[in-house]
Every structure is written in structure tokens, then in C-alpha cells.
């Protein structure tokens, strides 16, 4: 196994503090001393993740082990899921959120797996995806092609940059960013291929959840080593804004601490809005600064980093308890 020594994926600082009580075997979860981001410092490199921690095998084995060890917990968890599913009239939560937005158009699912989520999208969406696993990408591509879209088999950043600038109306990152070694670079790439005023839907485990504080290292959000980022509501907002994106919706229920997961809607400001934001942040109101801010926001070379990758996603099984 090839491990890399990661700097902070948000601010690139190498100054970290170990997160006492949250390390398992030789895996080191740390807190960035500069921006407080929590992450796995010694993470497997891209090739190792792709070859040795392939999503299908890893997630099935982990689920089987957990269910065997905690039968009562999973009976309760499954019952709760069924109740929530019933009250949602059998709809997936992301579909419910998107319907309220009245969105339509080109949709890219990052780490789309076998394309199931895309296949559940209403017909007003044309499904596209990026998936690193060849067999999963093949399945997803078949599903998407029947509806006019396609799937690119590649790492997230390399895959996203194959789409034109301002291409997508919607990008989905569901149970994805916690696996991504370079989450900020992927968000920047998403910002590049998202239309102005387009939306990104994000779902990640909530490191600030009550369940994590109660269960400690046994919290199901810990998945060594394929979960490499541990977002809190604060750190998720920081990273999204660093990627030049706006938080559009992140209300109390989206980040409620009784849930293991949190949901966020992000949008890409229009060029005019982006310039104003950059201008205000800089405190400089000259025409030159406005022009400079636009070029920063629109320069694809700044938004794309070939080092980044996507990892297959593993959804956090537990939710509200």
C-alpha cells in the first residue's frame, strides 16, 4: 500500500495536531492548526485506493461486519429509515430537495457509481456522470445514454474538466467529498463546469453529530482509510466559499446534529456577482481590480488540478438516531 502524507486539503498547511482518541491502528486523523479542518493525514494514494479499496468490495465487507456486531442497533436504524422513507412517499431525499428548487437540465453526478441515483432523476434532467471504477462507469453509462447523457470514466477533476465551461445546471456530490483526497480542487473544477446560478447538491457525514461524540471511534462515519475528510458544518462552508461558490441553503435541519449526515445546496454566482464579491473581499473598487477578479473566477487553469482524483463513494449507512 502506498501512503501519502497529506497537507491540509483546505489551506495546504502542514501544521497539524493529532485528534486524540480517534486514531485506529496506524491511521492518523489530525486537525489542521491553521483552519481546524479534520482529515486523515496518511491516506492511501490514488492507485492504492483504486486497486485495494475498491468501492463494491470494501463497502459490502464493512456493512456485513457492522451488521454482525450490532444487530439491535441496525434493526432500529433500519426501522427508522423505513419510517422516514414512508413519510417521503418513497422518494429519495435528494429528489425531494431538487423538486423544491424547480430545476431541470444537464446534471453531473460526481462519483456516480452504477448510475442508480441518476436513473432516479425526473425526466427533466439529462444525466451525466464521472466515475473512476470502470465496471460501474460502464453500467452508469448505459443508464445515462438511454436518456441522452453519458458517463466519463476518470478521476473527478480529470473527468469534470472534460465537460465544457458553464455546462451543467446541477452537480451532485452525494457521499462523495469525504472520499476525495483533494476536495477543494474538485469543488473548484465543479465551479468551472457549472453554469452561473447553477446548483451543487452536497451530502457528507457530519463530524459534529451527536452520534460521533457519543460513539467516538465507533462512529460509522469513520471508515479507515477510505473516508479521508471529516467535515463539520463550519469547515464545509469554509471550503465551499474558498472554491468561489455560494452557500444557497444550509438550514437547521440540513445540518441537525442528531443526524450523521448533512446536506448543503451551493450555487455559482453570476460573473457580475462573483466580481462584486471578490471586489468587496479585497476592499478594492478600482476597474482594474474588477477585471482581475473576473479573470480569476473564469480562468480554467486555476480551477483544474490534474493531481486530484475521485474515489468511489461509500454512503454512510446510519442516519438520524
What cell does 110 get? 460526481
Task: Confirm if 243 and 264 have CB atoms less than 8 A apart.
Answer: no
Nearest-approach distance from CB 10 to Zn ion, in angstroms: 5
Nearest-approach distance from CB 178 to Zn ion, in angstroms: 16
The correct pick among 6, 16, 29, 37 for binding Zn ion (CB under 5 A) is 37
The correct pick among 3, 4, 7, 11 for binding Zn ion (CB under 5 A) is 11
The correct pick among 2, 13, 120, 299 for binding Zn ion (CB under 5 A) is 13
Nearest-approach distance from CB 9 to Zn ion, in angstroms: 8
Nearer of residues 236 and 265 to Zn ion, judged by Cβ: 236
Please tell me whether residue 321 binds Zn ion under the rule CB under 5 A: no
Please tell me whether residue 250 binds Zn ion under the rule CB under 5 A: no
Which window, 13-21, 170-178, 192-200, 310-318, contacts Zn ion (CB under 5 A)?
13-21
Please tell me whether residue 7 binds Zn ion under the rule CB under 5 A: no
Nearer of residues 187 and 193 to Zn ion, judged by Cβ: 187
Instruction: Please give the size of the binding site for Zn ion, defined by CB under 5 A.
Output: 8
Sheet with strand 29-32: strands edge to edge: 16-18, 29-32, 38-40, 229-230
What cell does 74 get? 441496525
Nearer of residues 34 and 224 to Zn ion, judged by Cβ: 34
Nearer of residues 19 and 210 to Zn ion, judged by Cβ: 19
- Interacting residues with Zn ion between 16 and 35 (CB under 5 A): 32, 34-35
Name the pairing type of β-strands 194-205 and 168-174. parallel
Q: Which residues bind Zn ion (CB under 5 A)?
A: 8, 10-11, 13, 32, 34-35, 37
Amino acid at each position: 500500500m502506498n501512503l501519502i502524507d497529506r497537507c491540509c486539503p483546505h489551506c495546504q498547511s502542514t501544521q497539524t495536531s493529532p485528534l486524540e482518541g480517534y486514531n485506529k491502528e496506524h491511521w492518523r486523523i489530525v486537525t489542521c492548526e491553521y483552519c481546524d479542518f479534520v482529515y486523515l493525514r496518511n491516506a492511501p494514494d490514488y492507485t492504492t485506493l483504486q486497486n485495494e479499496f475498491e468501492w463494491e468490495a470494501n463497502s459490502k465487507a464493512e456493512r456485513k461486519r457492522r451488521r454482525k456486531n450490532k444487530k439491535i442497533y441496525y434493526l432500529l436504524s433500519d426501522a427508522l429509515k423505513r419510517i422516514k422513507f414512508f413519510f417521503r412517499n418513497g422518494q429519495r431525499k435528494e429528489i425531494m430537495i431538487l423538486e423544491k428548487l424547480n430545476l431541470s437540465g444537464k446534471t453531473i453526478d460526481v462519483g456516480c457509481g452504477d448510475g442508480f441515483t441518476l436513473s432516479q432523476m425526473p425526466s427533466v434532467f439529462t444525466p451525466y456522470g464521472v466515475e473512476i471504477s470502470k465496471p460501474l462507469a460502464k453500467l452508469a453509462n448505459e443508464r445515462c445514454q438511454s436518456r441522452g447523457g453519458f458517463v466519463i470514466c476518470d478521476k473527478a477533476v480529470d473527468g469534470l474538466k472534460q465537460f465544457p465551461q458553464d455546462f451543467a445546471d446541477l452537480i451532485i456530490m452525494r457521499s462523495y467529498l469525504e472520499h476525495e483526497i483533494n476536495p477543494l480542487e474538485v469543488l473548484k473544477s465543479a465551479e468551472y463546469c457549472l453554469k452561473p446560478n447553477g446548483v451543487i447538491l452536497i451530502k457528507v457525514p457530519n463530524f459534529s453529530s451527536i452520534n460521533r461524540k457519543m460513539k467516538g471511534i465507533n462512529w460509522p462515519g469513520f471508515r479507515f482509510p477510505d473516508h479521508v475528510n471529516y467535515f463539520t458544518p463550519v469547515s464545509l462552508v469554509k471550503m465551499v466559499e474558498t472554491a468561489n461558490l455560494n452557500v444557497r441553503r444550509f438550514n437547521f435541519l440540513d445540518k441537525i446534529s442528531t443526524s450523521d449526515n448533512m446536506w448543503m445546496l451551493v450555487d455559482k454566482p453570476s460573473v457580475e456577482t462573483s466580481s462584486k464579491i471578490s471586489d468587496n473581499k479585497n476592499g478594492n473598487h478600482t476597474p482594474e481590480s474588477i477585471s482581475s477578479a473576473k479573470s480569476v473566477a473564469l480562468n480554467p487553469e486555476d480551477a483544474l488540478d490534474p493531481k486530484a482524483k475521485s474515489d468511489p463513494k461509500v454512503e454512510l449507512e446510519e442516519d438520524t438516531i
